[in-house]
Every structure is written in C-alpha cells, then in structure tokens.
Amino acid sequence: MSTSSTEHHPYAAPDGILIGHLTPGTAAWEEARTGLTITATEIAAVVGLSPWMSRFTLWHKKAGLPTPPFEMNPAVEWGNRLEDAVAQKWEDEHPGQLAAPAGTWRHREREWQRATPDRLIYPQPANEFEIPDKADALLEVKTSPFGDEWGPSGSDEVPVHYRCQVMWQMDTLGLRRTYFAVLISGHDYREYVVEYDADDARILRGAAERFLDDVRRGNRPPIDGATDTYRTIRAQVDGLEDRDVEIPAELAARWDAAYADVARASADLTQVRGEVLDYMGNAKRAVCQGRRIAYRTVRDGATYSLNPYTSKDAAA
C-alpha cells in the first residue's frame, strides 16, 4: 500500500504560492478566503452555476455584509469523513503516484485568486527521505448519493460547478490536469479526468474580476429565485418596527399572482394525487409504460402516504 494520503508533503506549483495548510473553520482559514478574493469553491457562484450559493449571497459575503451561517448536513459530514478513504483508493489504483493534502494557495501574480485543492499528485518518492519538489496534477475527491450529472467512469463528464472549481484550481496553481475520485451511493467508485482549458480559465477570470469590481463599486446583483438569496435578504435586518412600507404596484401584483399560482398548483396536485390513488386501489405502485410513477405506503391497513418516484428510482 502507498504512503498514507493524510501526511503533508512540501512541493512547488508553477504559478501558485502556498499560503499554508489551514484547518477549515479557523481564523486563519477564514482570513485566507474572505475579503476581495475568489476561491475555487466560489467561482461557480460568480458565474451563476453553483447549486449551493447564489451570486447575490456571494456578493454580500465579499462586501462584508451578513450572510446565512454555514450549516453542516449529513452529506457534507460524510463527504468529509470519507475523503481520506476515497483518496487512498485512488492511490491504490495508481501505483507510483502519491496524493498528498494540498493546502491553500494563491496565484503568484493575482493575489485575489485562491484555491484549496483536495490533493496534489506527484511521483511516489523512492524512499522516506526523498522530498518531491513539483506536483504533476490535482486530485479532487467527491461523494454523491445518486451520481447525478456524473458521466461514465474514465470520461471528463463531471458536474459543471465542479468543472468550474477545478479549472480555477489549475489556473491558480499552474497545473494542467485534474483527476476526480468519486464514490457514488457508498459503493460505486469512479474516476474522471479534466484537462486545463485556457479559454475556460480566461472566461472565469474575467467574470471574477468583473464581480470583484461590482463589490468595490457597491453594484449589488439583482435578487433571484434561489432559496439561498432569500436567506441572505432575511439576514440583512434586525428587529421589528411597527410601521408601513409602500411597495411598487407591479411588485404587489407579482406577489398576488405568485401566491395565486401556488394555490392553483396545490389544488392541482391534490386532485392528481387523488386520481392516481383511485386508480391504484390496493396496489403498491403506479406505473406508465414501464416507468414507475408513484408508490403507496400503508399503516393499519389504510393508505398512509402516496409518494413520487425520483427520476433515478423510476428508471430502476
């Protein structure tokens, strides 16, 4: 078995300067990521492709305004717990290669461009006294419950927000290849390879520079429909004053229309659920042309719930 992937090994990257091996959540770690900087995990939000953070929320974060606190969830927790094990699996599959914790980096010239890759890859040292001096590539370790947006193992088909992330990392450090080690559904191990694309990197850099300029100028992004954006707006004010605020008539009309749409959609959903359940009788599943649509659960002999199949379950 190869050297443990949890050890720290020093090395150089062509365009990157190592800030340090910082512990997530510490003051030093936060300092390296805040202010007028863009990290690899933030670049997807800059271009509106992040599933976790909106451009609106990131703008408030970089402007030093209140944003919702990070909330640990089981997916994040288990992703962190499994990272070393999945990285070790990649090492086991690639004899002669070592994947060591990378630390936090900034670009040699663009100090605002930051990245904290999961691992840096370099040739396995001949002995414990040899210290490698140059990384060959990056390794990103991911876990996924269902494998949505992940293509066949061995391809470069990765979720677009992860492509943004690793393109930013490669551009920051000056490396040209990223390997992905991905564990799906707790047992399906896959690997992917993404090559550096100078055009993509240039587009991301330009978007980041314009975004930071908007922060400096106070040009707040428009409010979008992301739940994350709504939580950020909620975080901006404290207290409650007993007063009225006049809102535009167009906004009031949209408010009324949106709630009317919700009421109609709720009634439609209740009706179609009733019709499907009526068709099912005492059957467990409703299907259409071989595709699973819904399933019943029963408690004390009566229907307890009617649930839709996910796209993955329906195709099973």
What confidence tier does 253 reach under pLDDT thresholds 50, 70, 90? very high
Domains of the chain: 16-234 (3.90.320.10), 250-314 (no CATH)
Residue with token string 């949209």 = 254
Q: pLDDT for 70-104, tens place per residue? A: 878 888 889 989 999 999 999 999 999 999 999 99
Q: Is the pLDDT of residue 51 over 60?
A: yes
175-233: pLDDT as tens digits:
999 999 999 999 999 999 999 999 999 999 999 999 999 999 999 999 999 999 999 99
Residue ranges of alpha helices (H) inside the chain are 27-33, 43-46, 55-62, 74-93, 160-173, 198-217, 227-234, 249-280, 311-314
Q: What is the pLDDT of residue 73?
A: 84
Separation CA 177–CA 140 (nearest Å): 11
- Specify the 3-state DSSP secondary structure of 223: coil
- What does the pLDDT read at residue 26? 80
Q: In this predicted structure, what is the pLDDT of residue 287?
A: 96
What letter represents residue 274's amino acid?
G
Note the pLDDT of residue 34: 79
H/E/C letters for each residue in 62-75?
HCCCCCCCCCCCHH
Around 182, how many Cα atoms within 13 Å sit in the side-chain half-sphere?
26
Rounded CA-CA distance 215/199 in Å is: 25
> Residue 273, class by beta-carbon neighbours within 10 Å (0-12 exposed, 13-18 middle, 19+ buried)?
middle
